[in-house]
Structure 1
Amino acid sequence: MLEQLSPAFVQFVLSLQGFAPLLLQGTWVTLKLAVLSLLLGLAFGLIGAYAKLSSVWGWRCAARIYTTLIRAVPDLLLMLLIFYGLQTGLTRLTGGLGWAYIEIDPFGAGVITLGFIYGAYFTETFRGALLAVPRGQVSAAQALGMRPIQSFVHVVFPQMIRFALPGLGNNWMVLLKATALVSIIGLADLVKVAQVAGKSSQQLLGFLLLAALIYLLMSSASNAVLRWLERRYRREGQL
């Protein structure tokens, strides 16, 4: 059995030497996509959480529609709808105005789409965390003359993040894996590169397993960072 596997393994190692730079570039694209999508999703999440807790009916209704829509429609379908929908709308707009054709960058489209999708999940995480912060803390900040932004930065956020971190960590792990969806719109992320390298070298299984290993390493590193953050904010909350 080992003798039968050895030639295939040697061939895979030889193929890997030629595709290693491409795999590193694909990994870097995946990391950038995940981090930028996370930042955009956090922004959507905070806005959505405050909208859901708003006293204005219109804001609450809009936030409820947003989260319900995102949680009901599959991520893959949303990716296709947003990417091709934006491209179709932009093409019609530029054609109507007589402008040159503009093609949407797959990386930017991926960031916007993933950030928009996971912003809905962050909305629910932040909403629960905000409700866990005692209202008296906010009232005390207002009594001290703090503006709303100062109250959020110095009072609400440090307490809210302790309650939000477990949910944020879970959503980040799912978001990291969901970056593989952008391969369907032509972005050369880790999955796309692994597919191209595997088909070109006829070692598709080996390169897909390697991509899975890289995702596992990124997830393990993320878990370590998340555990450190949880310990830090737990200590601060006990002071």
Structure 2
Amino acid sequence: MFLHGYGGQILDGTWETITLALLSLLVAFLLGLIGASAKLFGNFLFKGLAQAYTTLVRSVPDLVLMLLIFFSIQMGLNNITDALGLPMLEIDPFIAGVLTIGFIYGAYFAETFRGAFLAVPKGQLEAGKAFGMSDWQVFSRILFPQMMRFALPGIGNNWLVLLKATALVSIIGLSDLVQVTQTAGRATASMFLFISVAGFIYLALTTVSSIVLWWLEKKYSVGVREAHL
């Protein structure tokens, strides 16, 4: 029998991993934009909060942060339900995984976006203003497209690391690819086989991601002369 009958569960776990990674990317992307904007354009308070966020997150291992965030949210919910006399609420592992990974990698995206924003020549923004563009038009037509071109290599790197970091959520009870393959390996005494399957699937996902990122870099580099060595 193919994969000792665990093929379907592995496919479900793979889809769970992909969905988790994409939603976490969305959260990280938004937090990264907010963090970068706060550092560059915010007042003293916002700059301080953004700096504290990126410094703290990048200084603590992902696994430690994941456990701290997961259990602190659960403890907070328990305190609220106890105070209101309500039944205890347990955090859904999938939602917890999305929020936790998104929060962690939002700090890395913030630094990526900050550097990309600074790389856009200020003269082009001033030229847009001189042509009568609104702040939103300057952002959407000049700043954001060029920022994305500068940020894409960093975004790609962060995405690949984030994708692999989804393996950590198995410790909080999510039936992702890693947990399913570990369970199958223990049940069939074929741990090496199933861990190899998990590794191959992650390799396939990162390969597809690299192709998509290459296409995006080409898309955002239209009209830009390539360097010739």
Fold equivalence (TM over 0.5): yes
**Which of 27, 33, 57 does residue 46 from structure 1 map onto?**
33
Superposition deviation, residue 102 in structure 1: 1.2
Q: TM-score, normalised by structure 2?
A: 0.95
**Which of 189, 206, 209 does residue 202 from structure 1 map onto?**
189
Q: How many residues align?
A: 226
Superposition deviation, residue 98 in structure 1: 1.6
Q: Secondary structure at the match of 2:91?
A: coil
Letter in 2 for 1:168: I
Q: TM-score, normalised by structure 1?
A: 0.91
Give the fraction of aligned pairs with identical amino acids, expressed as a percent. Answer: 56
Range that drifts further, 94-103 or 168-177: 94-103
> Are the aligned partners of 2:4 and 2:188 in contact in 1 as well (CA < 8 Å)?
no
> Are the aligned partners of 1:37 and 1:112 in contact in 2 as well (CA < 8 Å)?
yes
Bigger Rg, structure 1 or 2: 1
* 1:176-209 Cα deviation digits (max 9, x unpaired): 0000000000000000000011111111110000
Q: Which whole-Å CA distance do the structure 2 matches of 1:232 and 1:169 have between them?
A: 14
> Are the aligned partners of 1:159 and 1:237 in contact in 2 as well (CA < 8 Å)?
no
**Which of 189, 193, 196 does residue 176 from structure 2 map onto?**
189
**Which of 74, 78, 95 does residue 91 from structure 1 map onto?**
78
Consecutive unaligned residues of structure 2, counting only runs of 5 or more, are none
- 2:49 is the counterpart of 1:74: no
User: Which residue in 2 is equivalent to 1:7?
Assistant: none
User: Which residue in 2 is equivalent to 1:108?
Assistant: 95
* 1:43-63 Cα deviation digits (max 9, x unpaired): 000000011112511111111
Q: Which whole-Å CA distance do the structure 2 matches of 1:102 and 1:145 have between them?
A: 53
Superposition deviation, residue 138 in structure 1: 1.9
Q: Secondary structure at the match of 2:37?
A: helix
Q: Which whole-Å CA distance do the structure 2 matches of 1:189 and 1:147 have between them?
A: 45
Superposition deviation, residue 154 in structure 1: 1.5
User: Which residue in 2 is equivalent to 1:165?
Assistant: 152
* 1:129-153 Cα deviation digits (max 9, x unpaired): 0001111222233334433333221
Q: Which whole-Å CA distance do the structure 2 matches of 1:55 and 1:91 have between them?
A: 35
> Are the aligned partners of 1:15 and 1:201 in contact in 2 as well (CA < 8 Å)?
no
Q: Tell me: CA distance 1:136–1:27, structure 2 relative to 1, closer, same or farther (3 Å).
A: same
User: Which residue in 1 is equivalent to 2:8?
Assistant: 21
Letter in 1 for 2:152: L
Consecutive unaligned residues of structure 1, counting only runs of 5 or more, are 1-13
User: Which residue in 2 is equivalent to 1:149?
Assistant: 136
User: Which residue in 2 is equivalent to 1:4?
Assistant: none
Q: Which whole-Å CA distance do the structure 1 matches of 2:29 and 2:223 have between them?
A: 22
Letter in 1 for 2:14: T
